[in-house]
Homo-oligomer: A and B are copies of this chain.
Amino acid sequence: MTNSSGQKKFATIKDYILSQVETAAWPEHSRIPSENELATQFAVSRMTARRALQELTEQGVLYRTQGVGSFVASPKSQSSLLEIRNIADEIQRRGHFHKAELVQLTSLPCPAIVATALGLSRNAPVFFSLIVHYENQQPLQLEARYVNPEQVPDYLAQDFVLQTPHEYLSAVAPLTDAEHIVEAVLPDELTRQHLKIPASEPCLRLTRRTFSRGGAVSFAYLTSAGSRYRLGGQLTIQPKA
């Protein structure tokens, strides 16, 4: 079921398409290879190639028309997406006490709860980033973040750049313009996958909503494996000096 790198086949094709789109090798609104062409190129069945195209369509990367083809969707977000990716690199480069890895960065139609939280219309494009945080070489937290694309500059300047998830928990300043909710949940599929925990292991999930004068800016989930992240562990983190 997997290729030489252990990755699933449809995921390999997704990565390929994403790289073509992000590097603008396939420009906006350009027609991309058909299901059959991709299937031939990657030596998979059409249904496998189709799955890659379909998931990217659901994530807002592509749009497809029956009888016509598949096309690269509005990359208005893509320049900003690259910005966020650079910032994730910056977090890692600065050598905070934990390592962060950006595993997914896409623009996707707004889920209902995010639309409500951010005051966006349903299915409006929203930035979605997925970051795995490590401590002691072990995946510790999974951060899913939804960002209002139109407010990215403010968001970057005020909030995102220099703050680590630990600082989210300990710093007081953001409290004046943010809501925090910590809840105990069972891990969703993404969390299970990235933290490598069983479905039955309870997690702590931090939900954070950030506001600017213009309104809600971001909506983030930060999920931590319960067995690795005791509440006491959170409390020992030093506050921002």
Binding site for B on A (CB under 8 A): 58, 60, 63, 65, 68, 77-79, 81-82, 111-114, 116-117, 169-170, 172, 175, 178-186, 188, 199-204, 207, 209, 211, 221, 226-232, 234-241
| A202/B237 in contact, CB under 8 A | yes
Cα A11 to Cα B72 with chains together (Å) = 28
How far in angstroms is the closest Cβ of chain B from A186? 5
Kindly provide the distance from the CB of A163 to the nearest chain B CB, expressed in whole angstroms.
15
Q: Considering the complex, give the chain B residue whose CB is closest to the CB of A57.
A: B189
Q: How far is the CA of A232 from the CA of B182 in the complex (A)?
A: 12
Bound Cα distance from A240 to B226, whole angstroms: 9
- A84 to chain B: closest residue by CB: B181
Whole-angstrom CA separation of A231 from B185 in the bound complex: 10
Asked if A113 contacts B202 (CB within 8 A), the reply is: yes
Whether B202 and A185, one on each chain, are in contact in the complex, defined by CB atoms closer than 8 angstroms, is no
Query: Within 8 Å CB of A184, what residues of B?
Result: 111, 113-114, 169, 180, 182, 231, 234-235, 237
A215 to B78, CA, bound (A): 21
- A236 and B232 within 8 A (CB): yes
Which residue in B63, B81, B229, B237 is a CB contact (below 8 Å) of A230?
B237
